[in-house]
Amino acid sequence: MTGNHGVLDGKVALITGGSRGIGFGIARKLGEMGARVSICARDASRLESAASELKRNGISALGVHADVTRAEDVMLLVQETESSLGPIEVVVNNAGTGYFGPAHEASEPNWDSVLDTNLKSVFLLTKAVAPRMIERRTGHIINIASLSARNAFAGGGIYCASKWGLLGFTQCVAEDLRAYGIRVSAICPGSVATEFGSPDSKKDPRKMLKPDDVAHVVAMLVTQAPQSFISEISIRPTQKP
C-alpha cells in the first residue's frame, strides 16, 4: 500500500485489457487506492481469474467479457459497469495489440486488427463515457500509448501508425473535453516486461519497465491538483534494455 491508499474511495475505474500485464497492474493499483474497478478482456477464463485475484486482495472488482473493437460490446461494458458499480470516474484505455514486420508484407487483417484494437476501441469507449462525464463535469480518460508514438523503427509501420494516431486523438479529445472538467491524458511507456511485444525481441526483461511502473503514473494522473492536468507522460527504463 502507498500514501495514496483510500484517495479514490467510492470512485469507479474501468480498465480495458485488464486481465493481465499493464492493465492488471493498473487495476490493482487503483483498487488499492480505494476504487471499485471494472476490467474487461476477450479471454473469459483469464478475466475471471484476474477478477478473483483482485477480490482476494480486498478490491471491489468486476470482470466483464467484452471485445472493445465492437461498439455493441463497449456500450454493454459501460452499462454493466455503471449498473453494478456506479458512475465511471476513471477510464484507462489499455487494450492493445501489435504487428511487427515490414508494412508492405502485412495483410489487410493485420492492419485492421492493430488499428481497431489500439485506436478504434479508444474512440468507441470515449464516445460511450463522455456524455455522462460531461453531465457530471468530472472524469479522467487515460490512454496507454507508447514511445512508438514518437519514434519510428523498422517493422513498426502498423503499430506506430496506431500509436501516433492515438496520441493525436488524445490531444484533440483533451481540447474537446477540458472545459467540462474532464482530463484526457496519454502515457507513453518504453519497453515493458509483459507477454506483449515482438517474439524475436532481444531486449533484457530485467532492464525493462514493469507494469507497476505504468500503474504508478496512472495513480499520479488521477491524484493531480484540480486546477491542472498533465496531458502526456513518457516513461523509460533507467537502463536501455
Which residues are tagged catalytic? 159
Residue 150 — φ and ψ, nearest 5°? -125, -15
Residue 226's alpha-carbon distances to 12, 53, 183, in angstroms, are 18, 32, 10
Please report, in angstroms and rounded to a whole number, the separation of the first and last CA atoms in the chain. 28
Q: What is the DSSP string of the chain?
A: --TTTTTTTT-EEEEETTTSHHHHHHHHHHHHTT-EEEEEES-HHHHHHHHHHHHHTT--EEEEE--TTSHHHHHHHHHHHHHHT-SEEEEEE-------S-GGG--HHHHHHHHIIIIIHHHHHHHHHHHHHHHHT-EEEEEE--GGGT---TT-HHHHHHHHHHHHHHHHHHHHHGGGTEEEEEEEE--BSSS-S-TT----GGGSB-HHHHHHHHHHHTTS-TT----EEEE--SS--
In the numeric block, which cell numbers belong to residue 150?
514518437
